[in-house]
Amino acid sequence: MDGNAPTKEKDETEEVTKDLTFRRFEDGDNTPQDWEDKVILSGESHQCPTYVHKAPPCQGSCPSGHDIRGWLAIARGMEKPPVEGMAWQEYAFQRMVQANPFPSVMGRVCPAPCETGCNRVEVDDFVGINSVEQYVGDWAIDNDLPLAKAGKDTGKKVAVIGGGPAGLTAAYVLRQKGHGVTIFEAHDYLGGMMRFGIPGYRTPREMLDKEIGRIIDLGVEVKLETKVGEDVTMEQLDKDFDSVFWAIGAQNGRPLPVPGFDAENCVTGVDFLEVFNKGLLNAVTKRVVVIGGGDTSIDVASVARRLGHISHNKDIPLPEHVVHGHTAQDVVGTMHRDGVDAVLTSLFPIEEMTAAEREREDAKTEGVDLRGGVMPLEVIKDETGRAKALKMCECDMDGMRPVPREGTEFEIECDLIVSAIGQMGDFTGIEAMDNGKGFIDADQVYQVKDRKSHFAGGDIIRPHLLTTAIGQGSIAADSIDAFLAGAEPSDRPKVDVHHFSLMDELRRRDMEPATVEGPTTGTAESNFAVHNYEDRSKREIISHTELFLGHFPWENREKRTEHHIQADQVIGNFEERIEALTEEQAINEGKRCMSCGMCFECDNCVIYCPQDAIFRVKKDERAVGRYVDTDYTKCVGCHICMDVCPTGYIKMGLGE
């Protein structure tokens, strides 16, 4: 018998090991625990159950601060809609848009840092948060759900400069608070980077238009093709509006800082994608080199592969002429296209590129040649001054600084070079706002330095994710609201997200305490406070070490169907690549959520309490976070309830 062949016994062991998702004690670990703080003295304990709410890591990782745990609880059926007959999808949508008014779009394109932070990875795999968000967002569009109505008119007016994710989110939040809003947008459509920076096969335009339309329907005035600094002066804004929110984005791409990039056929990724998304660019050249490593560079290379090139017709305008605004390729619709050799280079190794892994892998499948750990040195020009090659070398990274390796120089022949290495703002006519580096300086509440009535957010602060711009737009709107009320914008909490509020939950269900007074005793028998509960969510994120992971069995993640386009099929394929989950799949993903930091009504504490001290709250008095209660006259402080609490909601606190 082959000694290297796996035995049946070994296979069974491996299978059992896979099924065991959590073990409190490992084999051979004989170190005794310190029980001193858990020993009951004289038949009495001063440590009894306290229900402590903490923020889950998914929410703490989300730049827009989604109440992810909350809407997953709705999907799983734990939290019921407050209105009879309301579909759970509508209730989940209402919870989602408190933080992000673009769930359909963001469910498709957000790189989902929330999933990276998910505690479920300690058991099997992260919860498919993005996929549930897309499902609910699409359902809301299909069922024509509106946003909540605008608040009562305050008489205050705010100018929002830029109709991208930050500006639109700020407009939405400001209208909810009752302020008048006018958006000034330089383009002929709203959407910003969601429209002009991301291809339509990633953000379907009909979905984007619906989600933008909901915001405009709140009574937002829109002035398209109006550029502040040219069509409207800053002085006029200050005269006509009580506050100004700058969300102009980073519309200027950074040129490649090497000799020769001034060649006509060297362009930036931002300009390339803008003309493509406007429908002006319909073909590229045979050989394209993209320098970057982020999502923008992936989009440029993938779009180039889809467009293809037309070799037999010399009358087709060159792509650089389109990008520079000299012409448009409006006669190439049915012409035969050939493939494009698209090379994407990155200073960092491929696995360390900032682009999402899924996007990198799709680009590879579609035929994009990814080359990591290389740096550009010089653009090589031909006798006419056009770029004909890019000279590069291998490199190592010292932090963010590339260090070239001597003797590794090489050239990549090309007809078009696209620099996707960063962006900055366009301050033409508004030079006073420029901090000297192509951005606007703002503090932690997004108030512009030395301009009390001016605020800023989104890429013009620092280019980052769409969800980051959405979060900044929301926070800035809160700050503007405080400013308009004559108050100083307040400091933000350490964990700055859209927190679950037990008091709001009780209020929604007509169970709010009569009054809330200062610390005192006897609250268990009275209705003037919420007893044995502490909210730490604004300062603490719950770790997987606080959960009882043994409660959760191995469950495979419900994955969306993705269409991976092969290299020989990519030309002309602009179909959406991701299909939404079914309702059953979305519910199943909701059930996989471990509800970190909040009770999810599993009954473990009730079942395992040896003193029958923990009991379920009466049905007509239950709410999220108020499912169980403790009779402290029976509790002996044995801490079993805390040990078996899957979500870490129960802690042992001081009692009498």
What does the domain layout of the chain look like in residue ranges? Answer: 157-251+425-484, 253-424
- Smallest CA-to-CA distance from 95 within 466, 471, 481, 500 is with 500
Letter for the amino acid at 332? V
Which pLDDT score is estimated for 44? 52
Residue 240: DSSP 8-state: H
For residue 349, report the phi and psi dihedrals to the nearest 5 degrees.
-55, 155
Homologous superfamily of 253-424 in CATH?
FAD/NAD(P)-binding domain (3.50.50.60)
Give the three-class secondary structure for 153. Answer: coil
**How many CA atoms within 13 Å lie on the side-chain side of 205?**
13
- Smallest CA-to-CA distance from 509 within 598, 624, 628 is with 624
Q: For 157-251+425-484, give the CATH class.
A: alpha beta
Which regions of the chain are under pLDDT 70? 1-25, 33-46, 312-315, 330-335, 515-530, 654-656
Which pLDDT score is estimated for 653? 80
Which pLDDT score is estimated for 45? 57
Q: In whole angstroms, how far apart are CA 231 and each of 158, 234, 283, 425, 451? A: 18, 10, 33, 18, 22
- In sequence order, which residues have a C-beta less than 8 Å from that of residue 323 and are 6 or more positions away? 267, 271, 272, 275, 281
Give the three-class secondary structure for 550. Answer: helix
pTM reported for the whole predicted model: 0.90
Query: Fold identical between 157-251+425-484 and 253-424?
Result: yes
Q: In whole angstroms, how far apart are CA 196 and each of 205, 271, 541? A: 11, 9, 36
CA distance 595 to 579: 26
- Whether the CB-CB separation of 290 and 266 falls below 8 Å is answered with no
Q: Is 513 exposed, middle or buried (0-12, 13-18, 19+ CB in 10 A)?
A: middle
Question: What tokens does 640 get?
Answer: 């079993």
Question: What tokens does 161 get?
Answer: 């400069």
C-alpha angle 474/273/280, rounded to 5°?
125
CA distance 481 to 166: 16
Rg (CA), the chain: 28
CA distance 81 to 84: 7
Residue 467: DSSP 8-state: H
C-beta neighbour count of 400 within 10 angstroms = 7
Which pLDDT score is estimated for 10? 43
Alpha helix positions (H), 20-87: 57-60, 68-76
Alpha helix positions (H), 509-625: 583-592, 604-608
Give the three-class secondary structure for 143. Answer: coil
CA distance 476 to 494: 16
Which pLDDT score is estimated for 588? 97
Which pLDDT score is estimated for 374? 98
CA distance 650 to 184: 50
